[in-house]
Chain A
Amino acid sequence: EDKVVQSPLSLVVHEGDTVTLNCSYEVTNFRSLLWYKQEKKAPTFLFMLTSSGIEKKSGRLSSILDKKELFSILNITATQTGDSAVYLCAALKGGGADGLTFGKGTHLIIQP
């Protein structure tokens, strides 16, 4: 059975701190790993990672994939209260089938 496990499930830090969110996966026919930020109802796309060891960056956010150890991390530096959200990790299978398998998310709370 495919599964995606995120840790920690919740995290409370102070503004300005750096956080690292973890995602491990066991998915047959793995193709890519995606990170989403979910505020209120709808997730918004952050990164898609397909190649191992290549860091993707967007402002204060960065992410990297390790296809040998089957995990990815999402880093957020100099956190701001607006970063408070649930961060979802999802594994995409190849072959155009089955869609995404999501983890349960990490609930990140940034305190001022």
Chain B
Amino acid sequence: GAGVSQSPSNKVTEKGKDVELRCDPISGHTALYWYRQSLGQGLEFLIYFQGNSAPDKSGLPSDRFSAERTGGSVSTLTIQRTQQEDSAVYLCASSLVWGGGTEAFFGQGTRLTVV
């Protein structure tokens, strides 16, 4: 597709269940980011992938959060044993090469609601 694609667009899950959020970056983009936006908060950095390098996981809020990127393309963000405070919009962004002065393109996000 032409843009960054995220799925599902909305997800309601019960507390304690695991969820997987998917991001398809723009073809050819080597850098991929996950962000979280909670109600009334700014965008919170979660994790960053650049090519085949080890990801920067410094923003992950707890060990219940993990992410992988297969084949340098599609990425999955997994939240285990979800808590109500995990409710947020999860945004994925990609760019050609991060730090190279290129803009990041955002997906439409996944709205996660933990009940």
Show the binding face of A for B, using Cβ within 8 Å: 4, 31-32, 34, 36, 40-45, 48, 50, 88, 90, 92-105
Contact = CB atoms under 8 A, between A and B. Distances in A.
Contact of A31 (B50, B91, B99, B104): B99
B42 A102 contact: yes
**Dominant SS at the A interface?**
strand
Interface centre among A31, A50, A90, A99 (most CB of B within 10 A): A99
B43 A90 contact: yes
Contacts of B56: 97-99
A97 B57 CA distance: 11
A88 B99 contact: no
Size category of the binding interface on chain B: 20 to 34
Minimum-distance CB pairs A-B, first 6: A96-B99, A104-B42, A41-B109, A102-B43, A42-B106, A102-B42
A42 B41 contact: no
Given A41-B91, A42-B109, A96 B98 contact: yes
Interface in B66-115: 89, 91, 97-101, 103-109, 111
18 contacts: A4-B42, A31-B101, A32-B101, A34-B104, A36-B106, A41-B109, A45-B104, A50-B101, A90-B43, A94-B99, A96-B99, A96-B100, A98-B45, A99-B33, A99-B48, A100-B43, A102-B44, A104-B42
